[in-house]
């Protein structure tokens, strides 16, 4: 957690996700509102030019109305990539992490989908979680697939500790075209038969890195960018909390209006 204070202004930025239960997320939201303290949530993917380029293509109408979002996030597994013992213990504790890969990497997709859908909560959440490596991760899932439905679109979040390589990428399909993010900076765009890979534009300051945004919120009264905002991230936790319950019950959960 990073806290910056200037005179009487304070803001807090926490590492993703905001919380491990919707009750905790709403308690943070209520406290932040009462104290008038901005709370921001830091995701690595917020600072990817490729994600901002995809967002622009969605919202300038190039792709048409969004029909499908597919987000892939994860790596080979915490043990497999050699995370420190303290971090490994935290990631594999269901009370501290909320789940396994579902919360560790599912939060990225929930954040991006909520951003692309302009802060709209999904109508329903369906999830399947698995323990592909129970000998390593006996208490938490290491594989999760979450399906979110909207009135005219679906978002599929694929969070895994079983990828053969690290990945944080996204596919967005509209009525007329598609965009795939390529690592941090590029996008591959196809509209009709025209397909090309183009670089994303630099992200405008102060929203081009976490500390710059946090500093601007405190010193200049800037509004948090939607992917980092408290409002977006309460929805993210609501999605993850519902996904956890849906996976346990084997049912689709409809979110209350």
pLDDT in tens, 46-86: 999 999 999 999 999 999 999 999 999 999 999 999 999 99
Give dist(CA 240, CA 170) in Å, integer: 18
> Which pLDDT value is given to residue 8?
46
Whether the link from the prior residue into 257 is cis, omega within 30° of 0, is no
Across the chain, mean pLDDT equals 95
pLDDT band of residue 256 (cuts 50, 70, 90) is confident
In the predicted model, what is the mean pLDDT of residues 136-164?
Answer: 98
The two beta strands, 66-74 and 167-174, are antiparallel
Q: Mind listing the domains of the chain with CATH numbers?
A: 2-254 (3.30.360.10)
Contact (CB, 8 A) for 228 and 46 = yes
pLDDT in tens, 9-35: 789 999 999 999 999 999 999 999 999
- pLDDT of 133 higher than 60: yes
pLDDT band of residue 228 (cuts 50, 70, 90) is very high
Give dist(CA 70, CA 168) in Å, integer: 11
| Per-state percent for the chain, helix, strand, coil, to nearest 5 | 35, 30, 35
Contact (CB, 8 A) for 146 and 109 = yes
């Amino acid at each position: 957690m990073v806290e910056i204070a200037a005179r009487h202004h304070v803001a807090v930025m926490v590492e993703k996700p905001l919380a491990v239960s919707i009750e905790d997320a709403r308690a943070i939201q209520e406290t932040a509102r009462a104290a008038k303290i901005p709370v921001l949530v830091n995701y690595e993917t917020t600072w990817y030019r490729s994600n901002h380029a995809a967002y622009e293509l969605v919202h300038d109408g190039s792709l048409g109305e969004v029909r499908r979002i597919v987000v892939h996030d994860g790596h080979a597994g915490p043990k497999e990539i050699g995370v420190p013992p303290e971090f490994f213990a935290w990631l594999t504790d269901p009370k501290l992490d909320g789940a396994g890969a579902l919360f560790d990497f599912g939060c990225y997709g929930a954040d991006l989908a909520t951003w692309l859908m302009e802060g709209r909560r999904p109508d329903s959440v369906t999830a399947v979680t698995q323990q592909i490596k129970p000998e390593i991760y006996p208490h938490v899932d290491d594989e999760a697939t979450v399906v979110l439905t909207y009135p005219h679109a679906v978002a599929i979040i694929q969070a895994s500790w079983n990828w053969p390589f690290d990945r944080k990428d996204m596919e967005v399909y509209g009525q007329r075209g598609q965009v795939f993010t390529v690592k941090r900076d590029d996008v591959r765009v196809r509209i009709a038969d025209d397909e090309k890979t183009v670089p994303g534009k630099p992200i405008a300051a102060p929203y081009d890195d976490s500390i710059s945004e946090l500093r601007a919120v405190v010193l200049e009264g800037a509004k948090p960018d939607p992917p980092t905002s408290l409002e977006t991230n309460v929805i993210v936790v609501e999605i993850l909390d519902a996904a956890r319950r849906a996976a346990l019950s084997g049912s689709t959960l409809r979110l209350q209006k």
